[in-house]
Structure 1
Amino acid sequence: MEKIKIKAHAALFGSGLLFGANYWIAKGLMPGTMQPMQIIFVRGFAAMILFWLLSASMQPLKIYRSDHIKLIICSLLGIAINQICFFTGLNYTSPVDTSLIHAGSPLMVIAFSAVIAGEKVTTPKIAGILAGGAGAILLILQGSGPAAAENQLLGNTLILINITAYSLYLVLVKPLMMKYNAVTVMKWVFLYGFLMVIPFSAKDAFSINWQGFTPSAWLSLGYIVVGTTFLAYLLTTFSLKALSAGVAGYYIYMQPVIAAAIGIFMFSEALSTAKIVAGILIFAGVYLVNRPAGIKTNAGKE
């Protein structure tokens, strides 16, 4: 069981790495080469095809009718609402505001897990979430100031809906992962999710200027489709087989650390004391959130 948990944590770290790097990669693709809805359409369609092709090489699993309803709900939350609200909201607000709102996701996951799944919320776990949240916010505040926003209130509201939907998705998809495998769950989630985003993205998708794509743009789009959509979703869902939704949600805090590290080593960003402190807070939070329940402090033994 410990080996499975180690693999699950490695999967979440890999997912965080993919998402963290995506900040720099997607930034170069939008809005000059592609619009947000165009990316949503392409990544949804391509990921759906990849999951169904991968599933074809595996032994088919029968999905109960009642579970299809749950898959549709997960698709609505994790794909349709999540992606549409994120990209649309980001158009109206600043990246700093978006990241600050996202820093509240682990708290939402823990709250949903406690209410819906009856997951126990321990003091170390709360301390870890707060430490990680402080580190993430400290990292975010090291960036540039908020850019001028067309409609900041609307944008922030959409980002809040986006992260609430994804947090609830992590909690609701876990029972399905305990019954089926990650590929089976993802192929249906992306099928239903893609069908839901078609009405909002199809018109923009037909106006993509494929002739204007440079080799760099193709590589960026390939990374978004294969890396941050196919692999990242697969790794996150796989991790839920052995870990709680709260732990999976916590790894969202890893994304600003990865993004900052890439900025320092690849884009010559300055390594400040604040960034070092932020990294320590986040990794300390990882330890507290994942500390085995059986470990007791000296005070607990008295």
Structure 2
Amino acid sequence: MARAYAAMVVANVALAFGPWLVRLADVSAVSSAFWRLALAAPLLFLLTKATRQPVPRLSRGMIGTIATGGLCFAADLGAWHIGIHHTKLANATLFANLASFLLAAYVLIGSRTLPDRFQTAALLLAGLGTLLVLGRSYQIDARNLTGDLLCILAGIFYAGYLVAMSRARGMLAPVPVLLISTLAGMGPLLLFAILLGGPLWPGDWKPLLLLAISSQVVGHGLMIYAMGHLSSLVIGLGLLMQPFIAALIGRLYYGEHMGLADIIGGLAICAALVLVRMSGSGQPAPTIVKAEP
């Protein structure tokens, strides 16, 4: 259990540095998303060998599911990386986690059940917090609002990615799932980067290497491990580290200040992230969607 807690903390810290590294990269926003996956892929391949989790032969249905997940992941990273350049680091990290509420809604719709009191309170808090943060962004600069909306769009695509990967996770070990989803997202991101233009080949590889290792390998890898051993509530509480670490980085390096509306809105969304997981607080976080037979 101690290992799982340590993995969760390290994963959230690593992921919180992602937006800053995206800003430091000397390539376009979408190109940085491509390199994040391309540089991580060889490391993930070696990790599958080290953990003895080989990639099995996939059925056509599974290939289609993974391809859909890869396309959603590419769209998520593309929208998010662009949004990072147009809003505060804390906002980008905060809105990226809105996928939690979309997944909760997906499960409720799929099971045809009404939300419980925790889920209802979470949805209300999330809505209130989002409106407060968006309103504050518009007051400061309309470009910040654009960045916030792009990060929300990224959260929608990320929810689609998680649904697809949860199906794959029912059939595959965690490291192969991460490797396959990484490979599936590389092609679309490279195409998006070329079509949108901007610098593709970096002059300084350090930010991109750190982004690939910290976010894609360490962050995602340890989070997958932690989710199999810790309760949903603990995972939800751990996610709250990310926006506050990102806010600290934004304040130190870019002079990004949080107004009262930002703080209240951010706390409301953070509280909602915890509440939306409380209905499953007694057991490890479940697979979102059952695997197809």
TM-score norm. by structure 2 comes to 0.70
Partner of 1:21: 17
Partner of 1:108: 102
- Amino-acid identity (%): 20
180 and 251 in structure 1: CA distance in 2 versus 1, 3 angstrom threshold? same
Partner of 2:56: 62
Letter in 1 for 2:275: L
Which aligned pairs between 1:102-251 and structure 2 lie closer than 5 A? 102=96, 104-116=98-110, 121-131=115-125, 134=128, 146-147=140-141, 149=143, 152=146, 159-201=151-193, 208-210=201-203, 213=204, 218-241=205-228
293 and 62 in structure 1: CA distance in 2 versus 1, 3 angstrom threshold? closer
Distance 1:279 1:47 in 2: 31
Structure 1: gaps of 5 or more residues: 296-302
172 and 238 in structure 1: CA distance in 2 versus 1, 3 angstrom threshold? farther
Distance 2:211 2:121 in 1: 33
Distance 2:206 2:202 in 1: 16
RMSD over aligned Cα, in angstroms?
4.5
Distance 2:117 2:220 in 1: 29
Distance 1:128 1:150 in 2: 25
Displacement after TM superposition at 1:226 (Å): 0.7
Letter in 1 for 2:191: P
Displacement after TM superposition at 1:191 (Å): 1.2
Displacement after TM superposition at 1:17 (Å): 2.5
Secondary structure in structure 2 of the residue aligned to 1:179: coil
Which aligned pairs between 1:249-288 and structure 2 lie closer than 5 A? 254-263=241-250, 281=268, 284-285=271-272, 287-288=274-275
245 and 194 in structure 1: CA distance in 2 versus 1, 3 angstrom threshold? farther
Distance 1:231 1:254 in 2: 16
82 and 39 in structure 1: CA distance in 2 versus 1, 3 angstrom threshold? same
Residues 1:291 and 2:278 are matched in the alignment: yes
Partner of 1:71: 66
Letter in 2 for 1:259: A
- Among 21, 30, 44, the alignment partner of 1:51 is 44
8 Å Cα contact 1:263/1:269 also seen in 2:
yes
10 and 109 in structure 1: CA distance in 2 versus 1, 3 angstrom threshold? farther
Letter in 1 for 2:218: L
117 and 188 in structure 1: CA distance in 2 versus 1, 3 angstrom threshold? farther
Distance 1:156 1:55 in 2: 36
Displacement after TM superposition at 1:40 (Å): 2.1
Letter in 2 for 1:24: W
Displacement after TM superposition at 1:175 (Å): 3.1
Letter in 2 for 1:34: V
Distance 1:89 1:272 in 2: 20
Residues 1:37 and 2:30 are matched in the alignment: yes
Distance 1:230 1:294 in 2: 27
Distance 1:144 1:150 in 2: 7
Displacement after TM superposition at 1:258 (Å): 2.2
Distance 2:162 2:37 in 1: 18
Deviations 1:24-55 (A, max 9, x none): 333333xxx22213212211211112111211
Structure 2: gaps of 5 or more residues: 283-293
Partner of 1:300: none
20 and 83 in structure 1: CA distance in 2 versus 1, 3 angstrom threshold? same
Number of residue pairs matched?
Answer: 278
Secondary structure in structure 1 of the residue aligned to 2:56: coil
8 Å Cα contact 1:48/1:191 also seen in 2:
yes
Rg larger for: 1
